[in-house]
Amino acid sequence: MIIRDLGVCPVGDARDGTHLREILHPSHFSGAVACRFSLAHAYLEPGEVSHPHRLVESCEVYYILSGIGVMHIGDEAEEVHAGQVVYIPAGAVQYIANAGASRLEFLAIVDPMWAESDDERVD
């Protein structure tokens, strides 16, 4: 059985500028996790915005846990809030802005699993 506690996952800054804790990435478990996706907990403080980027081969889903943001995918922008899910197709330029007064937290699910070679910043 594999159980991960968010509190023991170190926080780092992702390539897109979000603060990120990698919760489950199959490559870190020596074959014990047989799934295609990776799962991370990400957040932005009030006023922070992630860098525009795209995942070339992978699609991504954000599940908003708390806060209010504005999600940008291609030419579209929509306000998002806790309890919503956002689907981001492979190859789409995306970024998210914290539009509220509190931390914007979300889960990022990437399929197939996130790989540095698949993640391109578009500044």
Structural domain contains residue 83? yes
Is 81 inside a domain boundary? yes
Give 38's pLDDT tier (boundaries 50, 70, 90): very high
**Cβ proximity of 16 and 62 under 8 Å:** no
Does the residue 7 lie in any domain?
A: no
Token pair of 13, please?
Answer: 């800054």
In the chain, how many domains are there?
1
Dig out the tokens for 50 from the structure: 């992630």
44 half-sphere exposure, CB direction, 13 A CA radius: 24
**Residue 106 structural domain:** 13-121
Mean pLDDT, residues 20-34 taken together: 83
User: What is the structure's pLDDT at 110?
Assistant: 97
In a domain, 5, yes or no: no
Query: Residue 56: inside a domain, yes or no?
Result: yes
Whether residue 8 is contained in a domain is answered as no
Contacts of 101 (CB under 8 A, 6+ apart): 46
Q: Is 4 within the bounds of a domain? A: no
Predicted pLDDT at 29:
73
Q: Is there a domain that residue 3 lies in? A: no
Instruction: Report the CATH number that the domain containing residue 110 is assigned in CATH.
Output: 2.60.120.10
pLDDT exceeds cutoff 80 at 89: yes
User: Residue 25's pLDDT is what?
Assistant: 86
Q: How confident is the model at residue 107 (pLDDT cuts 50, 70, 90)?
A: very high
Segments of the chain assigned E as strands: 12-13, 19-24, 38-44, 53-55, 59-66, 68-73, 76-81, 85-88, 94-98, 104-111, 119-121
31 phi-psi bin (left φ>0, alpha ψ -120 to 50, beta other): left
Query: What's the pLDDT tens digit per position in 48-82?
Result: 999 999 999 999 999 999 999 999 999 999 999 99
